[in-house]
């Protein structure tokens, strides 16, 4: 790699730091959006389960098996699937944020090494 000094800092390191900062900013926005989606999917699933349990109880279904029967209904199972997908996307975004933070820390240490400081 051709390193070009600019005020004592390697330009390539600074460009990479900016790039990862931009990725972090985007990931933080996605994290918020995915968190909202996850919350909506969770609420939808819980509402559908509750509605189904009320129906089953009204039909005289024993409470001991009603929850399992309710969760097995197609609409409820699909809502649970959407909740799990939303949770997975939310958590993967969280992991991306942690990875970007680590990459930033490593780059900052490399930049500090170039400057001869180790803060």
What tens-digit pLDDT sequence spans the chain (119 residues)?
444 455 555 678 889 999 999 999 999 999 999 999 999 999 999 999 999 999 999 999 998 899 999 999 999 999 999 999 999 999 999 999 999 999 999 999 998 887 765 55
Quick check: is 62 in a domain? yes
Residue in 36, 46, 31 with CA at minimum distance from that of residue 80 = 46
Predicted model pTM: 0.79
Give residue 21's domain range.
10-109
Quick check: is 59 in a domain? yes
List, in order, residues 6 or more apart from 17 with CB less than 8 Å away. 104, 107, 108, 111
Quick check: is 15 in a domain? yes
CA angle 43, 49, 52 (to 5 degrees): 140
């Amino acid at each position: 790699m051709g390193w070009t000094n600019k005020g004592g800092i390697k330009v390539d390191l600074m460009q990479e730091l900016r790039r990862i900062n931009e990725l972090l900013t985007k990931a933080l926005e996605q994290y918020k959006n995915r968190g909202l989606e996850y919350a909506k999917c969770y609420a939808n699933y819980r509402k559908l389960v509750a509605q189904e349990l009320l129906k089953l109880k009204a039909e005289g279904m024993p409470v001991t098996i009603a929850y399992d029967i309710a969760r097995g209904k197609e609409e409820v199972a699909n809502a649970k699937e959407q909740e799990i997908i939303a949770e997975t996307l939310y958590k993967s975004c969280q992991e991306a944020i942690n990875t970007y933070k680590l990459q930033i820390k490593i780059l900052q240490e490399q930049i500090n090494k170039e400057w001869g400081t180790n803060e």
